[in-house]
Amino acid sequence: MSKYTQGPWSMELRKTNHPGVNVAFEISSNSRVGICGGQSQEHLSSYKIEEDECRANSHLIAASPELYEALKRLHDSCVRLRFDGIKETDAEANARMLLERLEGLV
């Protein structure tokens, strides 16, 4: 996996004065400013993103480094606790597949 900007990441959510864009957010880290940003899109008819959805997305993105590290620890624990000759559990397989996706392997 390419090295991502280490966490923790913080999120700033602010109201805007732009018509049809109620909120905007910026994700940043301790070492860099501006990892990513986004905004609500209430003005779009078919692809609108309401303020609540934008707020939820921003929290999920900001938690990404911690979620990734927790998933790696969960998978490592599953592998370590599995007895030789026992097949992979559903939880272990799900964690492995998601890690592969996050690491750009699939």
- For the chain, give the mean pLDDT: 88
Q: Is residue 2 part of a domain?
A: no
In tens, the pLDDT along 39-63 reads: 988 777 777 888 899 999 999 999 9
Per-residue pLDDT at 32 exceeds 80: no
- Cis check for the bond before 19: say yes or no (omega within 30 of 0): no
Q: Is residue 92 part of a domain?
A: yes
The string of DSSP letters for 8-65 reads -EEEEEEEEEETTEEEEEEEEESS-S-SEEEE--TT-SSS---HHHHHHHHHHHHTHH
Both 31 and 52 in one domain: the answer is yes
In tens, the pLDDT along 57-80 reads: 999 999 999 999 999 999 999 999
Both 71 and 89 in one domain: the answer is yes
What's the mean pLDDT in 90-97?
Answer: 93
Structure tokens at 97: 């597949």
Both 45 and 88 in one domain: the answer is no
Paired residues of 39 in beta bridges? 24
Please state the length of the chain. Answer: 106
Both 57 and 70 in one domain: the answer is no
Residue at a domain's end among 62, 77, 93: 62
Q: What is the pLDDT of residue 50?
A: 86
Q: How many CB atoms lie within 10 A of CB 103?
A: 13
Please give the residue range of the domain that contains residue 54.
Answer: 9-62
Per-residue pLDDT at 18 exceeds 60: yes
What are the C-alpha distances in Å from 57 to residues 34, 69, 77, 88, 89? 16, 19, 28, 32, 30
